[in-house]
């Protein structure tokens, strides 16, 4: 029989939220990099 650990739900939910947060921050960094590249490209054309 497996004994449930106290606070296991918090552990799992914290892990899931941490992974989601990390992915969101990576996406934000990539999008800001793309935006900076587009701004530099637009400035060169003018």
pLDDT tens digits along 1-46? 456 778 888 999 999 999 999 999 999 999 999 999 999 888 887 6
CA-to-CA distance for 42 and 36, rounded, in angstroms?
10
CA-to-CA distance for 46 and 41, rounded, in angstroms?
9
Q: What pLDDT was estimated at residue 1?
A: 47
Query: Which residue in the block uniquely carries the two structure tokens 């739900």?
Result: 9
Q: What pLDDT was estimated at residue 43?
A: 84
């Amino acid at each position: 029989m497996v004994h449930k650990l106290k606070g296991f739900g918090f552990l799992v939910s914290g892990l899931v939220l941490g992974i989601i947060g990390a992915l969101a921050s990576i996406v934000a960094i990539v999008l800001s990099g793309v935006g900076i590249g587009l701004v530099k490209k637009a400035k060169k054309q003018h």
